[in-house]
């Protein structure tokens, strides 16, 4: 065993002992969920914050997630390479962005342990940098045709098609490519529409405006709480609006530490997103959240979190805190809520209008959370009740291994719900039982 392996195991052991001690002295509070969550007082975790993540195992033959009553689940496609995001073309072809966090040199003791943990959990490594096309030509709910749609990209994530142009959210910016209807591959060079700083939170989700004139892109922060100063965070922790007619861009909303999934609420036409909040303040503090996004709105990061609660670890700006908007709906602490999709009433039996949310799962709390595809009901354009599971069973009961981790979610061409699982390397398909 090499020195680096021994060192990583030692740090992991320290982390495990720290987790056990915290659970004995400060039992995990009730999850912070809903429109009026009970968020525990912050407790700074010191030089070695809680670090816990299951080992990635994948699914055994014939094993699947657990579908909620009245639903069933099958593998639409398997054997992929870290599938993260899904986009359905007008002809019913399903595109899957395959990418991952790139392995890097550790910057501190804790960072070293985090990198080792992420690698064990299959959350860091060599990125495939590819978009794969899947086609279910015979309509049996399983894609029998698979083609490499694009390759040689730079950590691709968000995708959008408008007219004859296909847009890709690479980690370093948005690229536009010519598209021919029905094509199974794009090889033409693209043109750069926007440039973003890579590193840190690397995903770049995309969503077109209903009229097709704009693109919205989520760009996460470089660090946890602007640890290296605000200058390096310029243009980050924000949702950008790209005007496709003029070629100009601007920050649409800011103070969003890591806004990933984007979706329109159709009755109001309002943009919604799911956001991953900061680390190091406790299991449930602060919660990740689902929120409507106001034009020009500021949502607190890094100065404060839910209801303008100040983060004392950050040099403060009282004026920024005063204008921080309280999010709409808490999704539990460190659930890593990433995927977001509007589900019209009746898409799944017994489910009203609402948002489906892929929760990738925690790695930084004493009792793991997330690892589910959940649903938040809506009424009159707002969340209207407690969340419920669509898919669960991604995490072993002892929390030592994960079979899969939910990420992107979208409506399939046949009205099903499709969800990317980047540990199981599967696209799951949910339909009525």
344, pLDDT greater than 50: yes
**pLDDT in the model for residue 53:** 80
- What integer is the mean pLDDT of 190-211? 97
**pLDDT in the model for residue 44:** 72
394, pLDDT greater than 70: yes
Mean pLDDT for all residues in the chain: 91
**pLDDT in the model for residue 277:** 98
Dihedrals phi, psi of 84, to nearest 5 degrees? -115, -45
**pLDDT in the model for residue 119:** 78
Question: Looking only at Cα atoms, what is the longest distance across the chain?
Answer: 61
299, pLDDT greater than 90: yes
**pLDDT in the model for residue 284:** 95
**Residue 48 pLDDT grade (very low, low, confident, very high; cuts 50, 70, 90):** low
5, pLDDT greater than 50: no
Q: How far is the C-alpha of 98 from the C-alpha of 150, rounded, in Å?
A: 10
**Residue 31 pLDDT grade (very low, low, confident, very high; cuts 50, 70, 90):** confident
**pLDDT in the model for residue 51:** 75
**What strands lie across the sheet with 94-98, from one edge to the other?**
83-88, 94-98, 130-135, 145-151
CA of residue 27 relative to chain centroid, distance: 27
Q: How far is CA 416 from each of CA 25, 32, 220, 361, 411, rounded to the nearest angstrom?
A: 45, 30, 30, 23, 6
**Residue 26 pLDDT grade (very low, low, confident, very high; cuts 50, 70, 90):** very low
Quote helix, strand, coil % in the chain, to nearest 5. 10, 35, 55
**pLDDT in the model for residue 20:** 37
11, pLDDT greater than 90: no
Question: Which residue, chain included where needed, has tokens 């919660």?
Answer: 287
2, pLDDT greater than 90: no
- Do 338 and 408 contact (CB within 8 A), yes or no? yes
In the chain, % of residues over pLDDT 70: 90
Q: How far is the C-alpha of 363 from the C-alpha of 101, rounded, in Å?
A: 15
Out of 113-117, 137-141, 307-311, 351-355, least confident range: 113-117
- The residue ranges of every structural domain in the chain are 3-28+45-432
**pLDDT in the model for residue 7:** 38
21, pLDDT greater than 70: no
**pLDDT in the model for residue 47:** 56
**pLDDT in the model for residue 52:** 82
- Do 210 and 266 contact (CB within 8 A), yes or no? no
The model scores a pTM over 0.75: yes
Q: How far is the C-alpha of 137 from the C-alpha of 41, rounded, in Å?
A: 54
15, pLDDT greater than 70: no
Tens-digit pLDDT profile for residues 219-240: 999 999 999 999 999 999 999 9
**pLDDT in the model for residue 111:** 67
**pLDDT in the model for residue 22:** 39
Instruction: Tell me the Cα Rg of the chain.
Output: 20
18, pLDDT greater than 60: no
**Residue 366 pLDDT grade (very low, low, confident, very high; cuts 50, 70, 90):** confident
Q: How far is CA 246 from each of CA 207, 213, 252, 257, rounded to the nearest angstrom?
A: 18, 10, 16, 28
- What integer is the mean pLDDT of 381-396? 97
Cβ neighbour number for residue 396 with a 10 Å cutoff: 15
- Do 294 and 313 contact (CB within 8 A), yes or no? no
**Residue 50 pLDDT grade (very low, low, confident, very high; cuts 50, 70, 90):** confident
Q: At the topology level of CATH, where does 3-28+45-432 sit?
A: Neuraminidase (2.120.10)
């Amino acid at each position: 065993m090499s020195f680096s392996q021994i060192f990583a195991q030692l740090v992991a052991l320290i982390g495990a002992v720290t987790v056990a001690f915290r659970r004995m002295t400060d039992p995990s509070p009730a999850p912070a969920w809903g429109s009026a969550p009970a968020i525990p007082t912050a407790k700074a975790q010191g030089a070695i914050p809680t670090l816990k993540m299951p080992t990635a195992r994948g699914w055994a033959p014939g094993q699947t997630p657990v579908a909620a009553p009245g639903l069933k689940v099958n593998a639409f496609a398997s054997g992929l390479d870290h599938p993260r995001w899904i986009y359905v073309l007008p002809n019913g072809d399903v595109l899957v962005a395959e990418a991952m966090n790139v392995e890097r040199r550790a910057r501190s003791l804790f960072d070293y342990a985090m990198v080792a943990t992420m690698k064990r959990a299959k959350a860091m490594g060599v990125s495939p940098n590819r978009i794969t096309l899947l086609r279910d030509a015979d309509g049996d709910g399983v894609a029998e045709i698979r083609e490499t749609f694009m390759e040689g990209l730079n950590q691709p994530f968000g995708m959008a098609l408008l007219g004859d142009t296909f847009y890709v959210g690479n980690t370093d910016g948005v690229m536009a490519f010519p598209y021919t209807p029905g094509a199974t591959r794009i090889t033409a060079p693209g043109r750069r529409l926007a440039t973003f700083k890579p590193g840190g939170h690397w995903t770049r989700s995309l969503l077109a405006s209903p009229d097709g004139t704009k693109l919205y892109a989520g760009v996460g922060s470089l660090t946890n709480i602007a640890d290296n100063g605000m200058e390096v965070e310029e243009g980050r922790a924000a949702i950008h609006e790209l005007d496709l007619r003029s070629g100009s861009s601007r920050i649409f909303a800011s103070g969003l530490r890591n806004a990933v999934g984007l979706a329109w609420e159709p009755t109001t036409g309002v943009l919604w997103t799911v956001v991953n909040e900061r680390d190091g303040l406790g299991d449930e503090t602060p919660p990740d959240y689902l929120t409507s996004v106001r034009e020009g709105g500021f949502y607190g990061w890094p100065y404060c979190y839910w209801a303008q609660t100040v983060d004392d670890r950050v040099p403060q700006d009282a004026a920024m805190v005063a204008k921080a908007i309280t999010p709409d709906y808490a999704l539990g602490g460190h659930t890593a809520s990433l995927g977001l999709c509007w589900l019209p009433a009746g898409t799944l039996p017994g489910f009203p209008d609402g948002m489906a949310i892929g929760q990738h799962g925690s790695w930084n709390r004493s009792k793991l959370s997330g690892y589910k595809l959940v649903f938040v009901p809506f009424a009159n354009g707002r969340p209207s009740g407690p969340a419920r599971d669509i898919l669960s069973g991604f995490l072993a009961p002892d929390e030592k291994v994960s079979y899969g981790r939910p990420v992107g979610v979208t409506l399939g061409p046949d009205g099903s719900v499709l969800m990317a699982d980047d540990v199981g390397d599967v696209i799951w398909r949910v339909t009525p039982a």
